[in-house]
Structure 1
Amino acid sequence: MKKIIAAINMTLDGFCDHTAVIADEELHQHYTELLKNADTLLYGRITYQLMEYWRPFTENPTGNQSMDDFAAVMDNTPKIVFSHTLKSVDWKSAKLAARTLEEEVLELKKSNNDNGKDIYVGSPSLIVALTKLNLIDEYQICVHPVIAGSGLPLFKDISDRIVLKLQKTKTLGAGAVILYYEPISTKN
């Protein structure tokens, strides 16, 4: 069965702000490899629209190999977008969710397309919603050595205690640390 993996960047003080993190070559390479191993990406509207930034670089590369590689893999990875306001999406690899988040994720998890790839969730709101539904199998949190001071907290509105087990870490040259956690218990 496919795993649901929450993969996101955040500042040291727990905020999700893509403009605050250090997006260097090594980080782009890390996420390029991650997306190569993704069956599907799940995004909310805001994150989806932020990721559309990468679309033009597939036809007009930047000349920066790590950014261009990331743009290419982002363009090709299937995406499901959860939105109450979007009526359509025009990115060839994206589609709007036809069911609720829970229904969509449960269907994806048990799909017969067992290609060894997992489902990645990259939107703070979806990570929170799936955490509340106990559907996250692994958290891959990339903590950057930046204190933002304010912004969108990653685990906003989580009121239950969730115990995680550290599986491994990966340190990037610019000082970011990717923490790989598996949930082991939830206490209401």
Structure 2
Amino acid sequence: MRSGAVTLRVSGENNEMRPLRYSINVTLDGCCHHEAGLPPDEESMRYWTAQMERADALLFGRVTYEMMESAWRRPATVAWPDWMDEWEIPFAEAMDRAKKYVVSSTLSGVDWNAELVQGDLGPAVQRLKEQPGEGLWVGGVTLPLALADLGLIDEYEFVVQPVLAGHGPTLLAGLRERIQLELVDRHEFQSGAVAVRYRPAQVPT
């Protein structure tokens, strides 16, 4: 695959801003419930592990953070549970060790190598983007919608599943304004799923 890295610059002398990528599985009819698509397999988990490792940190809302923690936090016994296949372990280890930022108005504290995002969402995430590094990765449904409305997402990555869900939460439902995108890259899986990456297009005014 050709590189789709996005480098943005902010005012100032040679200041680079970390791009924020939104990544999610979505069915052909737009459902983004985490159980709506195909079950994960070795190829898809290998892909997600590689994509996640491109980021310096992960950005989650409360619901996604708690869901990820319940599934992928390393047990106190150190050994991964018996239900986990061998090919899932690299993803679990990458998720477990990743730096995480959590946006929540109800949590009073987090651990699992995580910290709460304080203050207004827009300025707080902007400050995270202005820190040095390769990029930030956000998942979930509600938080990315708010970030898209604020114009803070630099890259959209959708793994389109060959499934028609018929119901469930839909991708970026309620977006305030139309966002035109341009294709950065695509990748086809043996399962029939297709990963497509876009960035906001520069639309002439």
Query: TM-score, normalized by length of structure 2?
Result: 0.83
CA distance in structure 2 between the aligned counterparts of 1:35 and 1:17, rounded to whole angstroms: 19
Contact kept, 8 Å, 1:162 with 1:186, in 2: the verdict is no
Counterpart in 1 of 2:122?
Answer: 102
1:75 is matched with 96
Which residue among 39, 49, 55 is the counterpart of 2:73?
Answer: 55
Provide the C-alpha distance between the structure 2 equivalents of 1:145 and 1:9, rounded to a whole number of angstroms: 11
Matches within 5 A, 1:6-85: 6-22=22-38, 23-52=40-69, 53-56=71-74, 59-61=78-80, 62=82, 64-85=85-106
SS at match of 2:102: strand
TM-score by length of 1: 0.90
Determine whether 1:165 maps to 2:182.
yes
Quote how far apart the aligned CAs of 1:180 are. 0.6
> Counterpart of 2:173?
156
The 2-side partners of 1:130 and 1:143 are apart by 21
Local SS of the residue matching 1:156: coil
In structure 2, the partner of 1:183 is: 200
Secondary structure of the corresponding residue to residue 201 of structure 2 = strand
Flag the structure with higher helix content.
1
2:25 matches 1:5: no
Point out the more displaced range, 19-28 or 54-63. 54-63
| Total equivalences in the alignment | 183
Within 1, Cα distance between the matches of 2:111 and 2:184?
38
Tell me the residue number matched to 2:137: 120
Question: 147, 153, 158: which one pairs with 2:164?
Answer: 147
What SS is found at the alignment partner of 2:153? coil
| CA deviation profile, 1:101-148 (whole Å, cap 9, x unmatched) | 21222111111x33xx21011021121111111111110111111111
62-71 or 133-142: bigger deviation: 62-71
Distance (Å, rounded) in 2 between the aligned partners of 1:108 and 1:174: 36
1:161–1:186 contact (8 Å) kept in structure 2? no
Identity %: 39
Cα-to-partner distance string for 1:59-112 (whole Å, 9 max, x where unaligned)? 232462221111100001111111111111231x1111122221222111111x
- Structure 2 distance, partners of 1:139, 1:15, is 16
Segments of 4+ moved more than 6 angstroms = none
- C-alpha displacement at 1:6, in angstroms? 0.6
How far has the Cα of 1:186 moved from its partner? 6.9
- Which one has the bigger strand percentage? 1
Query: How far did 1:185 drift?
Result: 4.7
Structure with the greater alpha carbon radius of gyration: 2
Q: Is the 8 A contact 2:187 2:196 kept in 1?
A: yes
* Structure 2 residue ranges without an equivalent (≥5): 1-16
